[in-house]
Structure 1
Amino acid sequence: MMLKSEHDISQLIQQCNDMMEILKAVQLLNLPDWWVCAGFVRSKIWDTLHEFQESTPLSDIDVIYFDVMQTDEHLEKELEQELRRISPTYPWSVKNQARMHVINDLPPYKSAEDGIAKFPETATSLGVRLDTPGNVVLTAPHGIQDVINLIVRPTPLFKSTKHLAAVYNQRVKSKNWQSRWQRLVTET
């Protein structure tokens, strides 16, 4: 399958029953500014481009949202429990982007999409959610060219900030994505 546009990616996800089940489960929480992101989207794209018949198992399903009024990490754990109740077969991870800037010692994020823009790799800086009619909406703050061209490179923030560049390099090494997706090209 050829993936050339954001529309192609949205359609790919819309046609995947498991991914739609996940998105519908998250939508039930009615979280403000929510997205399912990172490997959930990236791995589907890479699997498709590598013509894998089986989806790569995910270590977690990254669900993010943005709520400056309730930044207690305990709430995130409650939301994970609720998702496990709704759909127990998935490894849920929920994070409020209104508090995640602290991890990288950055100024506060303005939205969940701002948080996605500050993920380590451009190919991972992707998120999807459902709109009111139930269509897949994609956000790609750094575009989709890297992910569809199988390029792993740091986002501008992780490239230009010394301590974050080290985080990116360690992450690429530990993830070892090329062992699964051999056609990837990694920029260091």
Structure 2
Amino acid sequence: MSAASRIGSILRADPLRWHLLDVVRILDLPDCWIGAGFVRNAVWDHLHERSASPLTGDIDVIWYDRARTEPAEDRKFEAMLRLAEPSFAWSVKNQARMHIRNGDTPYSSSVDAMRYWPETATAIAARRQGLEGFEIAAPLGLDDLMNLVLRPSPHFSGEKRAIFEDRSQTKGWFTTWPLLRRT
């Protein structure tokens, strides 16, 4: 079974995550995904042979549309998601404008934007397609995620390395997932 299929099976086996992927799918936003800890944590829990951790922090929803880059658009979709599932902190960001905040060159898509995320194992996203289908996006690959390797993305290997180091420490990943290896 491919790594993407394994991740899909992990997400499908988690009724809450599978449901939330469907809630986001119903918004019908272009190039829309749930990424970062939503996927990463589910996989790391599975690889530690335990049930899925509760969803804490933001659920990161990314989408891409050059014609709707006002932050008010994101807030509108966050409000819709809060109405559908009020128990969660939703963070919706149109990646067509996020390069400005991050000091990067413009992104060409949501998947392109993920290449600029801090860790390779975090630059993973999922989305539902239809009732049973799913898709995984991993512009930096799935090896680190599936092998419990925490490494900075190429964009965070140089001058932004301190951000990666700070995230590694403050998020408590090595305590939560003791089998994680750092590179």
TM-score, normalised to structure 2's length?
0.94
Q: Which residue number in structure 2 is paired with residue 21 of structure 1?
A: 19
1:55-103 CA-to-partner distances (Å, cap 9, x unmatched) read 2432111000001111111211111110011111222110110111122
Contact 2:42/2:52, CA 8 A, preserved across alignment:
no
The one-letter code of the counterpart of 2:117 is F
Q: Which residue number in structure 1 is paired with residue 171 of structure 2?
A: 175
Q: Does 2:182 align with 1:186?
A: yes
1:110-145 CA-to-partner distances (Å, cap 9, x unmatched) read 000011121110000100001235411101111111
What is the CA–CA distance in structure 2 between the aligned matches of 1:5 and 1:173, rounded to whole Å?
27
* Matched residue count: 183
Q: Which residue number in structure 2 is paired with residue 109 of structure 1?
A: 107
Q: Which residue number in structure 2 is paired with residue 135 of structure 1?
A: 133
Query: Please, which of 134, 146, 161 is the counterpart of residue 165 of structure 1?
Result: 161
The one-letter code of the counterpart of 2:175 is S
In terms of mean alpha carbon deviation, does 141-150 or 125-134 score higher? 125-134
Query: Please, which of 5, 8, 11 is the counterpart of residue 6 of structure 2?
Result: 8
Q: CA RMSD in A?
A: 1.5
Q: Which residue number in structure 1 is paired with residue 39 of structure 2?
A: 41
How much identity, in percent, do the aligned residues show? Answer: 37
Contact 1:34/1:129, CA 8 A, preserved across alignment:
yes
Contact 1:39/1:58, CA 8 A, preserved across alignment:
no
Extract unaligned runs of 5+ from structure 2.
Answer: none
Q: CA deviation at 1:4?
A: 5.9
Contact 1:13/1:136, CA 8 A, preserved across alignment:
no
Extract unaligned runs of 5+ from structure 1.
Answer: none
The one-letter code of the counterpart of 2:92 is V
